[in-house]
């Protein structure tokens, strides 16, 4: 199956463009979530006592197994009820890593091909500028989040396995306490919806990053941030408002879908499977469609500029 994915049979230029994006951005797509997942597993094993460490509570030391053994039936019921919430919250470190990958991949997407002169090769191929930029949009907003969700699933299963080991010798069954309360398909669906809606809300910001990337002669980050900083300064001085900063900050931090100012990292309580429908309903907000319209205009500008791009 993998061989058929990476092999190009016949004339399929868009598949070639997507494979190009993978090979050029494989560290952002694959290596970053892999490293974060691996480090998280190591930290969990250390903190949960797999290496003989103890958990300190009110000056006393306990292993996780002792804590489970001392739980009351009410505590066990509460844990089972909240297990999906806890597993969803465990994806936060990977989500934060993915956020950085999405931002910096968008910033470098159209600058790097001019820096290494690969733009000359791809302009000589029968692929349009629209197809090229579409492949980069999909890499940033679809491929990177989907791969990260796969690693999130691996990490969540790992947490359940670790928890299961510590129920051995206690009055509780790992199946009843952990696995039976876990709805993995629903967790994956929730995470896909979170990331899809985040990508759509943040699309105008990613579009601006890509436009800056096609304009920049060097350091796309400065090209993307300096004009915004100057406009925000003018807005603050003359209009005493901060609409531009709020527009960019809230979309880039996922504040619109999580209904809080801090976005993804501000509070684990924001990650609740029951809030999924509220996130979907955020698409009914006029600001959502205004943002998509701005993104479409910025992407069109990026296509026109790349068409006229010179090294």
Residue 116 lies in a domain: yes
Residue 203 lies in a domain: yes
Residue 55 bridge partners (DSSP): 62
All residues at 6 or more sequence positions from 76 whose CB lies less than 8 Å from its CB, including other chains: 172, 177
SS3 of residue 111 by DSSP: coil
What's the confidence (pLDDT) of residue 239? 81
What's the confidence (pLDDT) of residue 35? 95
Residue 4 lies in a domain: no
Tokens representing residue 54 in the block: 């103890």
Residue 8 lies in a domain: no
Residue 271 lies in a domain: yes
The total domain count for the chain is: 1
Site of tokens 């089972």: 80
Which pLDDT tens digits describe the chain residue by residue (311 residues)? 444 555 555 567 888 888 888 988 999 999 999 999 999 888 887 776 554 444 444 444 445 555 555 554 555 556 656 677 778 888 888 989 999 999 999 999 888 888 888 777 777 778 888 989 999 999 999 999 999 999 999 998 898 888 777 666 666 666 666 676 777 888 888 889 888 999 999 999 999 999 999 988 888 899 999 998 999 899 888 888 888 888 888 888 877 676 554 444 444 444 555 567 778 888 888 889 999 999 999 999 999 988 876 55
What's the confidence (pLDDT) of residue 230? 92
> Dihedral of the CA atoms 22, 24, 27, 28 (nearest 10)?
-70
What's the confidence (pLDDT) of residue 309? 64
What's the confidence (pLDDT) of residue 219? 87
- 61 DSSP 8-state letter: E
What's the confidence (pLDDT) of residue 57? 42
What's the confidence (pLDDT) of residue 137? 93
Residue 81 lies in a domain: yes
What's the confidence (pLDDT) of residue 107? 92
- Distance, CA of 219 to CA of 297 (rounded, Å): 23
**Alpha helix (H) residue ranges in the chain:** 2-6, 13-24, 26, 32-47, 64-69, 73-89, 92-108, 112-115, 118-123, 129-138, 144-165, 174, 184-201, 203-215, 220-239, 243-252, 255-258, 276-281, 286-307
Residue 7 lies in a domain: no
Confirm whether pTM is higher than 0.75.
yes
Structural domain span for residue 103: 13-307
- 31 DSSP 8-state letter: I
Residue 6 lies in a domain: no
């Amino acid at each position: 199956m993998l061989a058929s994915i990476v092999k190009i049979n016949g004339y399929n230029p868009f598949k070639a463009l997507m494979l190009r994006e993978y090979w050029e951005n494989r560290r952002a797509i694959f290596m970053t979530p892999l490293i974060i997942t691996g480090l998280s597993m190591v930290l969990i094993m250390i903190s949960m006592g797999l290496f003989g460490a103890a958990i300190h509570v009110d000056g006393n030391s306990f292993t996780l197994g002792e804590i489970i053994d001392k739980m009351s039936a009410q505590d066990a019921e509460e844990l089972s009820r909240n297990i999906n919430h806890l597993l969803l919250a465990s994806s936060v470190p990977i989500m934060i890593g993915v956020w950085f990958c999405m931002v910096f991949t968008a910033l470098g997407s159209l600058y790097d091909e001019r820096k290494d002169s690969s733009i000359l090769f791809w302009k000589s191929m029968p692929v349009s500028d629209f197809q090229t930029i579409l492949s980069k949009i999909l890499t940033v907003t679809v491929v990177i989040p989907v791969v990260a969700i796969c690693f999130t699933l691996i990490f969540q299963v790992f947490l359940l396995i670790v928890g299961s080991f510590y129920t051995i010798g206690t009055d509780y069954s790992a199946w009843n306490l952990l696995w039976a309360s876990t709805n993995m398909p629903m967790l994956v669906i929730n995470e896909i919806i979170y990331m899809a809606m985040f990508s759509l809300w943040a699309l105008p910001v990613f579009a601006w990053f890509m436009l800056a990337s096609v304009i920049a002669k060097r350091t796309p980050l400065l090209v993307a941030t300096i004009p915004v900083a100057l406009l925000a300064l003018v807005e603050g001085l003359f209009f005493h408002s901060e609409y531009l900063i709020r527009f960019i900050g809230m979309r880039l931090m996922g504040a619109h879908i999580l209904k809080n100012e801090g976005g993804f990292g501000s509070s684990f309580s924001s990650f609740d499977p029951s809030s999924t429908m509220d996130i979907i309903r955020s698409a009914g907000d006029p600001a959502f469609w205004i943002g998509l319209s701005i993104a479409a205009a910025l992407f069109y500008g990026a296509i026109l500029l790349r068409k006229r791009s010179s090294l």
